[in-house]
């Protein structure tokens, strides 16, 4: 069934800003928009985001280096980002003479969270929209007032990919990261009355069929697992639209996920001295304790904020497998891993089962890291492997 599409006006991103896509001084946000900008997409969100930008300028030798900019200028932008699915269409209609449109591509090829924005000098690193409605490199052609110009997210994503590949070659990062296309669409106009240039800025982040957290790169090995977990409702993102793949997982969070996976069933009281009915994880911890999935400690505590190790996760998932009728047995040999001797005796069989079924993956240095803290991304991968490797129907 076709998903209902919704029309929405994209939010203005920032107020006073330095124009990086044209060689100009300060540009201002107009008091009244001089052009309409609308988005048609099957899914869209407009969260507040903080975007940090590294500005690179082409040198005389053709190479790009960090630009020498004013020390008092802050390249951290607090703005709204239009997160859209890949089927989106953009509609731009100038309401005045002299409006031109440029598109900058903000890449993050080295994965450090700082977006690269290139100033190509005599070889423009941005695109512009022509009066014929074509997207071309460079330029600032004025568009016709009253005419509707159409840009597809698919076309912008394709140009972003070309730009990203070129920047990997130019900047030569140690390990290139493929991020979701982040485009800055700038609608500009120089007012003949005061000679000042005004801009309407829109940040667009383009995804596939679904919106997933912005901090999950397209090239991340855990991308499918996180997307699957979010689609199933096992996880939720953060308030700023992120997922926090590298954040440590604690006992309360794991209890909440297992409770959700298990159907969010009602349970009796938690019975732990540090878990109260007012806690967001109360029902989850109660159910996990009732089903003997996550045990408490001798003093009657649960320690909801305590982090989990990889071997603890393996043990808990093995108990969950028994709970669902799966026999977590394995004859896998762990002796070939460098740190197999660090696995606790009570977790050894569970680790054998988890590794053989790809719930836990060895590190590149041939270690299992049984005592390392589990991250949110690792839990997503473990649950995804549980579903796919064991053909589980939960």
For the stretch 14-49, pLDDT in tens is 433 333 333 333 457 888 999 999 999 999 999 888
Q: Above pLDDT 90, what percent of the chain?
A: 58
Structural domain boundaries enclosing 355: 223-389
Q: What is the dihedral angle through the alpha carbons of 266, 271, 273, 279, rounded to the nearest 10 degrees?
A: 0
pLDDT value at residue 64? 73
Q: Are 264 and 282 in contact (CB under 8 A)?
A: no
Please indicate, yes or no, whether residues 178 and 100 belong to a single structural domain of this protein.
yes
171 φ, ψ (degrees, to nearest 5): -95, -20
3-state secondary structure of 259: helix
Q: Is the dihedral of CA 14, 15, 20, 21 positive or negative?
A: positive
Domains in the chain, number = 2
Confidence band, pLDDT 50/70/90 cuts, at residue 271: confident
Check residue 17 and report its DSSP letter: E
Please indicate, yes or no, whether residues 23 and 60 belong to a single structural domain of this protein.
yes
Check residue 167 and report its DSSP letter: H
> Using CA atoms, how far apart are residues 163 and 170, in angstroms rounded to an integer?
10
For the stretch 127-139, pLDDT in tens is 999 999 999 999 8
- The helix-helix angle for 310-323 and 376-389 (nearest 10°) equals 40
Confidence band, pLDDT 50/70/90 cuts, at residue 6: very low
Helix and strand element counts for the chain (H, E): 7, 16
Q: How many CA atoms lie within 13 A of 365 on its CB side?
A: 5
pLDDT of 361 > 80? The answer is yes
Please indicate, yes or no, whether residues 283 and 199 belong to a single structural domain of this protein.
no
Please indicate, yes or no, whether residues 248 and 340 belong to a single structural domain of this protein.
yes
Please indicate, yes or no, whether residues 375 and 321 belong to a single structural domain of this protein.
yes
pLDDT value at residue 181? 94
Q: Are 348 and 324 in contact (CB under 8 A)?
A: no
Check residue 182 and report its DSSP letter: E
User: Does residue 379 form part of some domain?
Assistant: yes
Higher local confidence (pLDDT), 372 or 270: 372
Please indicate, yes or no, whether residues 45 and 115 belong to a single structural domain of this protein.
yes
203 φ, ψ (degrees, to nearest 5): -100, 125
pLDDT of 101 > 90? The answer is yes
């Amino acid at each position: 069934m076709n998903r209902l599409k919704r029309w929405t006006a994209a939010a203005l991103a920032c107020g006073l800003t330095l124009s990086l896509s044209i060689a100009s001084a300060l540009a201002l946000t107009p008091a009244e928009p001089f052009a309409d900008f609308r988005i048609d997409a099957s899914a869209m969100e407009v969260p507040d985001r903080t975007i940090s930008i590294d500005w690179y300028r082409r040198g005389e030798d053709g190479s790009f280096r960090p630009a020498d900019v004013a020390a008092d200028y802050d390249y951290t932008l607090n703005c709204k980002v239009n997160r859209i699915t890949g089927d989106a269409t953009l509609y731009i209609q100038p309401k005045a003479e002299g409006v031109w449109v440029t598109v900058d591509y903000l890449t993050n090829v080295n994965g450090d969270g700082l977006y690269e924005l290139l100033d190509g000098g005599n070889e423009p690193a941005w695109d512009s929209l022509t009066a014929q409605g074509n997207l071309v490199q460079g330029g600032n052609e004025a568009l016709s007032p009253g005419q509707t110009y159409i840009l597809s997210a698919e076309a912008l994503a394709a140009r972003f990919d070309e730009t990203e590949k070129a920047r990997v070659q130019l900047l030569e990062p140690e390990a290139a990261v493929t991020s979701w296309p982040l485009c800055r669409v700038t609608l500009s106009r120089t007012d003949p009355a005061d000679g000042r240039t005004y801009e309407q800025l829109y940040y667009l982040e383009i995804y596939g069929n679904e919106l997933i957290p912005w901090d999950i790169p397209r090239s991340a090995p855990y991308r499918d697992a996180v997307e699957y977990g979010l689609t199933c409702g096992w996880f939720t993102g953060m308030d700023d639209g992120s997922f926090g793949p590298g954040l440590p997982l604690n006992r309360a969070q794991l209890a909440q996920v297992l409770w959700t996976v298990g159907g969010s069933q009602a349970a009796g009281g938690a019975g732990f001295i540090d878990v109260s009915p007012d806690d967001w994880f109360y029902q989850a911890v109660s159910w996990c304790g009732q089903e003997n999935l996550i045990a408490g400690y001798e003093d009657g505590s649960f320690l909801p904020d305590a982090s989990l190790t990889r071997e603890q996760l393996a043990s808990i998932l093995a108990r969950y497998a028994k709970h669902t009728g799966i026999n977590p047995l394995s004859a896998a040999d762990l002796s070939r891993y460098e740190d197999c001797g660090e696995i606790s005796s009570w977790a050894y069989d569970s680790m054998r089962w988890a590794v053989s079924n790809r719930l836990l993956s060895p590190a590149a240095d041939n270690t299992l890291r049984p005592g390392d803290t589990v991250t949110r991304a690792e839990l997503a991968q473990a649950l995804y492997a549980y579903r796919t490797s064991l053909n589980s129907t939960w």
